[in-house]
Every structure is written in structure tokens, then in C-alpha cells.
Amino acid sequence: MPDTYDDGMRVRREVLGDAHVDRAEARKNGFTEDFQDLITRYAWGSVWTRPALDRRMRSVAVLTALLAHGHWDEFAMHVRAALTNGLTTDEIREVILQSAVYCGVPAANHGFAVAQQVLEEQQVLDEQRGRGEEPAAGQDGGRRAGGA
């Protein structure tokens, strides 16, 4: 049987970035430890590692679900993850536009605002890196420690 924790931690780091995962791990405590273990083993180790969908397709599904339920911090984190997984800005825009039809215009409207902010922040970070500058301490595109 595969070690879903190790597989999950590997995928989680590849998709969300080491800085995000390190912060989430550092904030883990007796109250949240089991939940972080569940996220790593089940979401990342059992589901994200399945072969039928590639990471781009998984990002499309996750963005749509998070938008539909109004989970905006997680949505922002997964906009960044979608870029990591190879989605273009145009594809992210189309996911949100398509979601407007099935999830509602108000949700998509807010999704566009959140995604635009993330994409603008990411562009600034990319430009800093392109000039050989390091982002300010703790700045990694706004990835938050509390999320998956």
C-alpha cells in the first residue's frame, strides 16, 4: 500500500509551494494536527495523485468548487496553484466566466476580483524575481498557512 502521507506532502509542496506548506506545518498544534494529517493523506495523497486527471484539470475543478461555495481565501490560494499547474491567465478567466452560468453571477463577480488581485500580485513577484530581487520577507504571493 502506498504511503499517502509522503505522496500527499510531495504533491502539496509541488502545487502550493514549500513556504505555504512549511507555515501550515509550523502552525499545526494538538487541535489542528489531525486535520492537517487528513488534508495531506486524503486530499493530496489519495485524490490529487490519482492518474485520471492531470493537475491542470484538477485545478479547474477546485477553482470552480471554491468559487461555488464562496471559499475566497482558498480560491486565491488555488488561483496561484493553477498558475503553478500550468493554467494561463486566459484559462483562469474562462473558468470563472463559465462558473458564472452555473454558480451565479455574484460569485463569479467576486471570483474575478479575487483572481485579478492574485494575478496582479503574482505579476509583481515575477517582475521582482526577473530583476534578480527577492520578495520581501514572508511575501510569497499571499499564500496563507491556514489552507490546504
Amino acid at 81: A
Q: Is the CB of residue 16 less than 8 Å from the CB of residue 81?
A: yes
What residue segments make up the domains of the chain, in order of their start?
Answer: 4-130
Q: Is the CB of residue 82 less than 8 Å from the CB of residue 59?
A: yes
What tens digit of pLDDT does each residue of 9-34 get?
999 999 999 999 999 999 999 999 99
- What pLDDT score does 125 carry? 76
- Give yes or no for residue 141 having a pLDDT over 50: no
Share of the chain above pLDDT 70, in %: 89
- What pLDDT score does 2 carry? 66
7-34 burial code (b ≥16 CB/10 A, e <16): bbbbbbebbbbebbbebbeeeeeeeeee
* pTM as predicted: 0.86
Cell numbers describing residue 117: 488581485
- CATH architecture for the domain at 4-130: Up-down Bundle (1.20)
Residue 76's nearest CA partner among 43, 99, 110 is 110
